[in-house]
Structure 1
Amino acid sequence: MVNLIASHIVKPAKPIPTKVMFLSECDQRKPITHANSVHFYKPESPELLKDATEVLKDSLSEALVEFYPLAGRLYQKDGSRVELQCNSMGALLFEAQSELKIEDFGDFCPTPQIRALIPPIDYNNTPLHEVPLLLVQITRLACGGVSLGVAASHIIVDGQSWFHFFPEWAKIARGEKSDDKPFLDRTIFRQYEHDHPSATAPKSQYSDFFPLPVLIGQSSSLEERKKSTNCAMLKLSKDQIEQIKNKANYQDLMIHKTNNQRPFSRFVAVSAHIWKCLSKARMHNPDQETVLYVSVDFRNRLKPPLPGRYFGNAVLPVPARAIVGDLQSRPLSYASSKIKEAIENVTDEYARSYLVCMKNIPEVSSNRYFHTVGCPQGLFLGNPNLLVTSWVGLGLYKAHFGWGNEIFMTPGSNVICVVSWG
């Protein structure tokens, strides 16, 4: 279906600082896997793709000068923590070709066909320090188009950081100057990772560290982890989203007005709707406890805020908890209020205390969070729990490499639940 033709190690075009780079506790909690996505292009003329591989190689080499952490490698430390060695080992670029056309990928749901467009990574048989932190695969398709599959270490970047790098790389590929430089000094987190008078959030807030609810009748989630997962891409129209938002806000309309509160956002309302529907589809016992995690970017919630274009992880998973019977019997505003409250909990004090708490955990492997079954360690976010994250606002369609704009972008695997709308 997809044939790999060649691979290339791409190193920074100029000498970069050789050093061990500090990783924050927020970085350390990320899984030692890669976040991935696939971008599809169909240029007006095949000639635009004639030198596509060379353009990608040269521009990536230039981009890695400023974004040099992506050219390094991770090394294991005590307590399952890792360290980042900026050693210019480079990114890995694959060339591939396929007899498939863009139209053959249907609704672009992360199927085995889509996953074949992602650079292959053998986590089981490759030492950690030999795994590139950035992998790219350009696949030439039969329709004259191409796909660009990318995989970036979750420990090195979050969504904001990745979608800062990706368009800047594309800008260089178009022959333009990249002038939006990243802020790379992660030691800035040290000023937040200590206890101080303002870090007063009680430890009871940290329910995300406590054992997550398991299915009634089970003592652990081990059996659930063994099950295979299915993926579906559900498309909601603008009108459908507005209906869900209005439904969530209708019951609490007078409360919002009386207390001068902001109505539930689209993200909160749709997430609440998913939470209710999923617990119903899973046929949970009414007494079953369930947790919905929301990924919250806290760059601007810290005081002082992190510098603009901070390059690293600054996302905190916060839990909303409920009993299934309450989710099902109460209006959508109930689930929405739980989620909104969880998000609003992320203040400067909460984020600082979270970092302190993480720093005091001697073994982090059990606190790394994962989103799929089949994960032998870490917090299990499968049945009866889930994690919802939004890619809205990340600038998903700004990677123009000189072949025209993307016609579609999709997650490369079903490791996350993405809430998005047009």
Structure 2
Amino acid sequence: MASKKPQSKLWQTPSITDYTPLSVFDKVTYDQHVAVIYAYNPPTPPNAAIEFGVRKALAAYREWAGRLSRDSNGEPIILLNDEGVKFVEASVDRPLSETVHFRPSATLLSLHPSLEGVVELVQVQVTRFSCGSMVVGFTAHHLVADGHATSSFLVAWGQACRGLGVNPLPFRDRTIFSPRNPPNFESEHRGGFLNEWNQQALQHLESLVAHLWRAITKARGLNGLETTQVRISVDGRYRLNPRVPNEYFGNLVLWAFAKAKVNDLLSEPLPYATKLLHEAVMKVDDSYFKSFIDFANHKVKKEDLVPNAVADTKESILWPNLEVDSWLRFPFYDLDFGCGGPYIFMPSFSPTEGMIFLLPSFTGDGSIDVLSLYFRKV
């Protein structure tokens, strides 16, 4: 689709030996890049201004310019060697409206660099169209940060492009999650781990998620005696006591699981599913998070456990289950390079059956867009 110019790396400086250790929450999230797409109407700033903004934002978020590595004990770390991020410029000699349709489709993959075999922790692709519109494809490695923290970096990038200082600055100490002495395993943590969900938003979305769970389960044509499960993520920034700063940069989410027999889910009224979702998330409280920290420090290596999040990246079908990723509370639409916010924001194409994304509608009327992919049993 695009004629790409040679790639360049940003913010290169002599190597240094500082590093940031991965926290227990970083270690159990998805070991892969996540990509998002932004579209902007003209007039748009030049590529040089966007690149300069990345440089400035990286000064505050150095982890993104580093590389994943291991320390002398074999523990995973982010090496702060300032080797830079990937920046790609591309152009298309057709209008955006005739080239890209913003719905789940493999054509979106051409709007950002490949997610395979990437050493850079951040990648940016700026694609220009003949109509003057601009699409920015952004990919970031999930081991470095969750959606909450990544969206804060994106806001900082826009601030830097507009000549502003990065505000607020990230809270970067990942060593704050110490296990208790003695440890206290108050919950069962072997069932799986993480992604992104803001509990404050969940209270207003339980009915929507319950409806989607029922509708997709019915459309799949599942056996009535099967058990179906929804995996929902709970943000620890809103759960841990004492409160972790909202500016914490890293991963800080754990999974809640709501389960039901297909027959029960479809025969009972909607409040039945809503109650299951609510109860599952309420269990992931301060005690649950602290129990998980103890468990991760004392049991994972001893029992040679592999996080579900890592295993699931190799699967493209969540059948008969669902995963719900809510991005409703993240300020993704605040990425303003100086020409105003995007008129479209969305995740790139994710060919994982059973994955659901919830995000604010680009119409700006307060409605919610639901992006999903599921198959019907035949």
TM class by smaller structure: 0.7 to 0.9
> Once the 2 structures are TM-superposed, how far is the Cα of residue 327 of structure 1 from its aligned partner?
0.2
Contiguous gaps of at least 5 residues in structure 1: 211-261
Please name the residue that 1:355 is paired with.
293
**Deviation of 1:109 (Å):** 1.3
Alpha carbons of structure 1 residues 95 and 290: separation in structure 2 relative to 1, 3 Å:
same
Partner of 1:98: 92
Residues in 2 aligned to 1:361 and 1:78: alpha-carbon distance in whole angstroms: 20
CA distance in 2, matches of 1:266, 1:393: 12
Matches within 5 A, 1:239-254: none
Segments ≥4 residues shifted beyond 3 Å: 14-18, 76-81, 104-107, 193-197, 363-367, 369-372
Cα RMSD of the aligned pairs, angstroms, is: 2.7
Q: Distance in 2 between matches of 1:110 and 1:265?
A: 27
Q: For 1:274, which of 177, 198, 212 is the aligned residue?
A: 212
Matched, 1:283 2:221: yes
1:397 aligns with 2:333: yes
Is the contact between residue 151 and residue 330 of structure 2 (CA under 8 Å) also seen in structure 1? yes
Cα displacement (A) at 1:288 = 0.2
Given the alignment of the two structures, is residue 135 of structure 1 paired with residue 73 of structure 2, yes or no? Answer: no
Task: Name the counterpart of 2:186.
Answer: 201
Matches for 1:310-329 after TM superposition, within 5 Å: 310-329=248-267
What secondary structure, in the 3-state scheme, does the structure 2 residue paired with 1:152 have? strand
Q: How many residues align?
A: 349
Could you say what secondary structure the match of 1:139 adopts?
strand
Partner letter of residue 116 of structure 2? D
8 Å contact 2:15–2:83 — kept in the other structure?
Answer: no
Query: Does the aligned pair in 1 maintain the 2:234–2:254 contact within 8 Å?
Result: yes
CA-CA distance at 1:336 after TM superposition: 0.7
The answer on whether the counterparts of 2:154 and 2:332 sit within 8 Å (CA) in structure 1 is no
Aligned to 2:356: 417
- Correspondence for 1:55: 49
Residue of structure 2 equivalent to 1:385? 321
Give the TM-score of the pair, scaled to structure 2.
0.85
Residue aligning to 1:9:
9
Residues in 1 aligned to 2:224 and 2:359: alpha-carbon distance in whole angstroms:
29
**Structure 2: which 5+ runs fail to align?**
194-199, 361-366, 368-378
Q: Post-superposition shift, 1:2?
A: 1.8
1:234-264 deviations in Å (ceiling 9; x for gaps): xxxxxxxxxxxxxxxxxxxxxxxxxxxx9x8
- Any conservation in 1 of the 2:123–2:139 contact (CA below 8 Å)? yes
CA contact (8 A) 1:295 1:318 kept: yes
Report how far residue 4 of structure 1 moved.
Answer: 1.5
**Closer, same or farther in 2 for the Cα pair 1:81/1:60, shift >3 Å?**
same
What is the CA deviation profile of residues 76-122 of structure 1, one whole-angstrom value per residue up to 9, with x for unaligned ones?
Answer: 57999632111111111001112343323665113122111012233
Look up the equivalent residue of 2:346 and give its one-letter code: T
Q: Report the Cα offset of residue 355 of structure 1.
A: 2.4
Whole-angstrom CA distance in 1 between matches of 2:221 and 2:74: 37
1:6-405 correspondence to structure 2 within 5 Å: 6-11=6-11, 18-43=17-42, 45=43, 48-49=44-45, 52-75=46-69, 82-104=76-98, 108-123=102-117, 131-190=119-178, 193-194=179-180, 196=182, 199=184, 201-203=186-188, 206=189, 208-209=191-192, 265-359=203-297, 360-362=299-301, 363=304, 365-369=306-310, 375=314, 382-405=318-341
SS of alignment partner, residue 221 of structure 2: coil
Supply the distance in 2 between the matched residues of 1:34 and 1:80 (Cα, whole angstroms).
Answer: 22
Partner residue in 2 for 1:251? none
C-alpha spacing 1:36/1:155, structure 2 compared with 1 (3 Å): same
d(CA) in 2 for partners of 1:73, 1:367: 24
For residues 370 and 173 of structure 1, do their structure 2 counterparts lie closer, same or farther at Cα, with a shift above 3 Å needed?
farther
* Secondary structure of 2:6's aligned partner: strand
Taking structure 1 as reference, are residues 364 and 202 closer, same or farther at Cα in structure 2, changes over 3 Å only?
Answer: closer
Structure 1 residues 25 and 78: alpha-carbon distance in aligned structure 2, compared to 1, 3 A threshold: farther
The AA in structure 2 aligned to 1:344 is M
